[in-house]
Structure 1
Amino acid sequence: MSNFRIGQGVDFHQLVEGRDFWLGGVRVDHHKGALGHSDADVLLHAICDALLGAAALGDIGHHFPDTDAQYKNIDSKLLLARTRELITEKGYAVVNIDATLCLEAPKIKPYVPQMQAIIAQLTGVTIGEVSIKATTTEKLGFVGREEGVVAYASVLLEKAAR
């Protein structure tokens, strides 16, 4: 059995007027926000799915279903904290996280250091082990029309020493 496990996650949310836009645990200034049962933080959701997948624990919908009222408008930082607890219970620790946001606007570069700090604190790694990048779709598709946002995440877990 390997001491290392790789996981990948992806999340999509529609962008709508009248919602706060949460990315990586940070409220981003924008005229639209992501629509979802929780706060719809696509970046934290993709990271949760990557962590859960690496530990073979299913997906975010299994652990935090959108049919459960207790998760209505929940802060996704709480979901990521609980996800870390789940992988820790299974004997794993996070080594690093690499994530990509796909959106036309707004530019997220000013928010990245705060996102990295939040994600690092919630997952037990250093800021240097959390990579967050962004790209556009060059105006193509639903992301290009600013109708939605997508996040991809890859993680590496290591079996904790006993």
Structure 2
Amino acid sequence: MDNLRVGTAFDAHQIQPGRECWIGGILHEGEDGCEGHSDGDVVAHAIVDAVLSAAGLGDLGSFVGVGRPEYENVQGVTLLRELRQLVDAHGVRVINASAQLIGQTPKMGPVREECERTLSEALGAPVSVSATTTDHMGFTGSGEGRAAIATALVQLGTKVPTSDT
């Protein structure tokens, strides 16, 4: 395949007691969520940034802006759907993405397949999800926050010409 590009990204948020916990595109009942203008889904945010990086289209801040009212509490899967439209319009095909949650909570093993299905559907490409802890070291280990790292593979120049172009 020609024109393959890889992007890598990192996202981190503080945990906010009492806030809903959206991680990997799904709600984790009984867990505190993450601070942020949107839903604080570090996994979805890292995937968005990785795809944008690979496609050469900037980052999450340039994609949706910072503090825009229409994105207050927006779901990570909504951002992935909008990202899909953006990359399609630029002739970029997402081949796959992979993200790893870094934190003590939530436990991802029992919901991994649901996260992967939800994120893959929103992005329009296969998404793999994994998780790790830092053995109680640092802000993720102490329960102060969560982080995620993601990688995406895209192919540039896949836009099909129309009769208008």
* Cα distance in structure 2, aligned partners of 1:75 and 1:107: 20
- TM-score, with structure 2 as normaliser: 0.91
TM-superposed deviation, 1:141: 0.5
Aligned mates of 2:81, 2:105 — CA distance in 1: 28
Structure 1: gaps spanning 5 or more residues: none
Deviation, structure 1 residue 130: 2.0
1:64-123: CA deviations, max 9, x gaps?
A: 123211111111211111111111111111111111110112311111111111111112
Partner SS for 1:6: strand
State the 1:147 CA deviation.
Answer: 0.3
Structure number with greater Rg is: 2
1:154 to 116, 138, 151: 151
CA RMSD of aligned residues (A): 1.3
Match of 1:144 in 2: 141
Q: Distance in 1 between matches of 2:74 and 2:27?
A: 14
How many residues align? The count is 158
TM-score normalised by length of structure 1: 0.92
2:153 aligned partner, one-letter code: L
2:56 corresponds to: 56
Shift of 1:63: 1.6
Structure with bigger strand share is 1
Moved over 3 A (4+): none
**1:134 lines up with 2:165 in the alignment:** no
Matched residue type, 1:153 = A
Secondary structure class of the residue paired with 1:36? coil
The equivalent residue for 1:104 is 104
Equivalent residue number for residue 120 of structure 1: 120
